[in-house]
Structure 1
Amino acid sequence: MARYQNLDEQMADLNIEEEENEDFVFDGDVEEEVNKYELCLIGRYLTEKNINTRAMKTKMADIWKPAMGMTIKEIDPGIFLLQFYHKEDMLWVLNGGPWSFDNAMLLLERIPSGEEPLKVPLWFMNIWVQIHNLPSGFMSEAVGKQLGDFFGEFLMYDAKNNTSIWREFMRIQIRIDVRRPLKRRKKIKRKDGSDFTVTCKYERLGYFCFVCGLVTHTERFCRRFMDKRGDEVAKEWGVWLEAPPRKVAGQGRREIRIGRRKWGEIITAQLSPSVVAGAIQISNNYIGPDAEESSGLNIEDRKRRRSGPASNTVMDINDIRKS
């Protein structure tokens, strides 16, 4: 027994720190070559409230109607991994935003190869905006790029919005940082010294704060508002920042606002061909992108693929795969 005790003492005295710190290199190519997240999106909702995950999955399944199915998994509190089974379904969701649930905006990003999902920053949102009060001669794409980089980061110019003689506004897609307040207007100076001011209206905008202009919360959770409770708080942002609803090209639907705002809330209704039969469908979400937003998808093909079940059909998106 003494012999074994002596051996234990000798082993305890051994220093393996040098071995542990020695560089170790794998033989051959052992790194994964395939991006396992190639058909995945990572996302989170901009809300201070808890998301009803089950209701959210059902609602987004009814809106997106992925042709080949998808899976939504909460991998961290408030962080969702969206796995698709066809690239076209993933791109349709990614390019068709912004999406919202219960008026909370959804931020979505692709996952770069080799990156862990939880390390992908979720601070940016792509959104279509309308630039109003532009004089004649200022509706060009060159002007749109410069204004887009002021209000956010310019992504796309909607040339089809300028097909009529009377052009009420310019329409561009921008990428905004949700940590910064929504920009509202910009003063423009002409070469002759005169000036004018353009205003920016955001399409399909969900909750945002009327006090600080952030889309991450409403006044209910605004620090500036809470610090000045009891005093008069200036609200420099308002519902006038929201662009009027637009008709969805080729789908016969129009988003109609039917309610009043309460802490930033807007109730919307989706009017579809079923209205003819007397069924008015109520929803807090927009149905899909316009033709120019659909990343090249054919309108008729989208109509056929997205027709899906009736809106009153419950779909569980937790693990849906088309058989």
Structure 2
Amino acid sequence: MQRMPTTPLYSSPEPYLFEDSVDTITSQAAKLSWLKSKINIEVVPTSKEDSKKLLIGKILSSKAFPKSLVKEILIKAWNVINDVEVSAIDKNIFMFSFKHEADVRRARDKTPWTVKKEHLVLKCFSPDISVSEVDFSFSEFWIQIHGLPLNRRSKENVLKIGSMAGRALDTDLVGPGSGVWSRNVRVRVEIDVSCPLVPGFPLERDQLPDFWIPFKFEKFGNFCCGCGMLGHDQRDCPDKGV
């Protein structure tokens, strides 16, 4: 019979884990044969309702942000009715516990948000998964489509354009302006933030030269013009020497 370890797999004086520590521990623990035995434990009845008042977020930045600063900035930005409890989970990963679901919807529906110009990926938290399983690879943005000719402005076309940047979710064909004309239309898109942002596309036109249609991402935060990634600017780009 194998002996159970007498010392913890990991201990840290820090209030929460940093960098890739969670992934490292999980990988190391998976190699221990005594962990292969499975158990089935009961689901907490109130967990589903409790999770409706939770959001989890990750700030895309190499800089570490303290919990107090994150709470101060987001409480003001969200304009919530009641206080929000903020817990630091890992480096730049925070759990937000709300008192009422109305405040949750207000924070969630108006994404994206930034903290000191750094993009915050904000997600609903499922009671079925561990914090370490949350996928922060995707975030929702409104994208302004500039210069799209009037005869191409349909919901179907705008959704098709949005699918070039990610998963198109919604459209806004009105935008700023009046009557049938506005400077731009918008599309709501879920984007893979682990990949470079799509800057726009060349529009093919019959009997006219191709025309470049640029995208403008609303409230997307710090952005590198060199590699196209969120989370740093061109001065701090890891690829600038390539």
Q: For the superposition of Structure 1 and Structure 2, which TM-score range results when normalised by the shorter chain? A: 0.7 to 0.9
Give the structure with higher Rg (CA): 1
2:235, 2:185 → 1: CA distance? 33
| Residue 31 (str. 1) matches residue 56 (str. 2) | no
Counterpart in the other structure of 2:107? 93
1:77 aligns with 2:91: yes
- The one-letter amino acid of 1:121's match is D
1:118 to 132, 154, 162: 132
TM-score by length of 2: 0.77
Distance 2:195 2:39 in 1: 44
Q: Is the 8 A contact 1:178 1:216 kept in 2?
A: no
| Distance (whole Å) between structure 1 residues aligned to residue 82 and residue 237 of structure 2 | 41
1:173-192 superposed matches below 5 A: 173-190=188-205
Q: Is the 8 A contact 2:60 2:118 kept in 1?
A: yes
CA-atom RMSD in angstroms: 2.6
Q: CA deviation at 1:89?
A: 0.7
Matched, 1:197 2:209: no
Mapping of residues 268-287 of structure 1, within 5 Å = none
TM-score by length of 1: 0.59
Q: Which amino acid aligns with 2:202?
A: K
Q: Residue 137 of structure 1 aligns to a residue in which SS?
A: helix
The yes-or-no answer on 1:53 pairing with 2:67 is yes
Alignment gaps of 5+ in structure 2:
4-33
Q: Partners in 1 of 2:133 and 2:81 — Cα distance?
A: 29
1: CA distance, partners of 2:191 / 2:153: 22
User: Counterpart of 1:187 in 2: which secondary structure?
Assistant: strand
Residue 156 of structure 2 corresponds to 142
Cα pair distance change 1:135/1:54, threshold 3 Å: same
Residue pairs, 1:232-247, within 5 angstroms: none
Structure 2 residue identity aligned to 1:96: K
Q: Does 1:223 align with 2:220?
A: no
Q: Give distance in 1, aligned partners of 2:35 and 2:60.
A: 43
Conserved in 2, the CA contact under 8 Å of 1:48 and 1:221? no
1:257-296 superposed matches below 5 A: none
- Displacement after TM superposition at 1:22 (Å): 11
Residue number in structure 1 paired with 2:17: none
Cα deviation 1:48-92 (Å, max 9, x = unaligned)? 112133222112222223213211110122210011121111111
Unaligned residue ranges in structure 1 (runs of 5+): 1-14, 229-323
Which structure dedicates a bigger proportion of its chain to strand?
A: 2
Query: What is the aligned residue count?
Result: 209
Question: Secondary structure at 1:47's aligned position in 2?
Answer: coil
Report the equivalent of 2:187: 172
| Seq. identity, % | 24
**Which structure's relative contact order is higher, taking Cα pairs within 8 Å and 6+ residues apart?**
1
Q: Cα distance 1:32–1:200, how it changes in 2: closer, same or farther (>3 A)?
A: same
